[in-house]
Amino acid sequence: QVELVESGGGLVQPGGSLRLSCAASGSIISIYTMGWYRMAPGKERELVASITPGGNTNYADSVKGRFTISRDGAKNTWYLQMGSLKPADTATYYCHADLQYQVPGIGSWEGDWWGQGTHITVSS
């Protein structure tokens, strides 16, 4: 019904930059909040950044000033521009969306969806 596909992960040196993209597709009626989470080895998944349709953003303290979340509502796509990357940013990053979608035979439904995850390694 809904699919979130991420791209843009990889290996980067400390101080470098990367941009992640997440494209949502399927029977989407409306997306309420778009976001990025990450999970590092041995740690719980944490919110990195989120953005509402109105453009309000929220960032984890650890990434403020280094990461920027943005969205293209017309394309149901959002991005995470990451700069000044640190080894502590090494993690699997997941895009997330709270959205309303169409369920055949039922009508509209609301729920949250996750991407498959993309791994980022920050290392020299």
Sheet bearing 77-82, strands edge to edge? 2-7, 18-26, 77-82, 67-72
State both tokens at 105. 């035979």
Length of the chain: 124
Is residue 109 a contact partner of residue 101, using CB atoms and an 8 Å limit? yes
Q: Give the three-state DSSP class for 73.
A: helix
What mean pLDDT is predicted for residues 13-18?
Answer: 97
pLDDT in tens, 38-81: 999 899 999 999 999 999 999 999 999 999 999 998 899 999 99
